[in-house]
């Protein structure tokens, strides 16, 4: 797990991505558009769950404003991460966007059935990918009104 910006900045994005190239592209796209958010990166489903649902109350992190979740993850896949997050009171309303290369209809249907907020396919072209990340950041960090934190 690494923090790629000021850990005390209010707005955060959790990027759950095991592919180093896709991670670098996403971070580059976010930096390019200066979306003023700290980005926490976890590289598998277990790390993501440990970050969002830590076992000890001393290690509880503030929830991010957005989770960008890949589906094809080691240890625990993205759909199982989503299932566990939606089953827990702390993360039930957390905005989660699946950001994946999967075009499988069953992944799309299962993601929405489990409560994702959006399903975005990763474009192959960097410029298109950067635009997609920019639009996601602008919407979820600036335009969207998140539910109050209890």
Please indicate whether residue 59 or residue 12 has the higher confidence score (pLDDT): 12
pTM of the full structure: 0.88
Beta-strand ranges (E) seen in 31-100 are 38-42, 66-69, 96-100
Predicted pLDDT at 43: 97
Predicted pLDDT at 47: 96
Full strand arrangement of the beta sheet holding 2-3: 2-3, 38-42, 12-16, 66-69, 96-100, 118-121
C-alpha angle with apex 93: 104 to 121, nearest 5 degrees?
Answer: 25
C-alpha angle with apex 76: 74 to 81, nearest 5 degrees?
Answer: 130
CATH class of 2-142: alpha beta
Res. 71: pLDDT tops 60: yes
% of the chain surpassing 90 pLDDT: 55
Q: Give pLDDT tens digits for 82-139.
A: 999 999 999 999 999 999 988 899 999 999 999 999 999 988 888 888 889 889 888 9
User: What is the average pLDDT across 20-34?
Assistant: 86
Predicted pLDDT at 32: 78
pLDDT band at 7 (very low <50, low <70, confident <90, very high): very low
**Listed range (47-61, 73-87, 130-144) with the worst mean pLDDT:** 47-61
């Amino acid at each position: 797990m690494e923090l790629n910006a000021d850990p005390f900045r209010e707005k955060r994005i959790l990027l759950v991505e095991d592919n180093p190239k896709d991670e670098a592209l996403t971070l580059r796209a976010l930096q390019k558009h200066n979306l003023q958010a700290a980005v926490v990166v976890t590289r598998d489903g277990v790390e993501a769950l440990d970050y969002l649902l830590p076992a000890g109350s001393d290690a509880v992190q503030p929830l991010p404003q957005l989770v960008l979740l890949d589906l094809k993850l080691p240890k625990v896949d993205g759909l199982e991460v989503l299932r566990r997050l939606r089953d827990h009171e702390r993360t039930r309303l957390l905005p989660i966007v699946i950001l994946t290369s999967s075009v499988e209809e069953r992944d799309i249907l299962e993601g929405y059935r489990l409560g994702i907020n959006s399903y975005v396919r990763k474009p192959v072209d960097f410029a298109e990918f950067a635009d997609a990340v920019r639009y996601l950041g602008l919407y979820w960090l600036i335009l969207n009104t998140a539910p109050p934190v209890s």
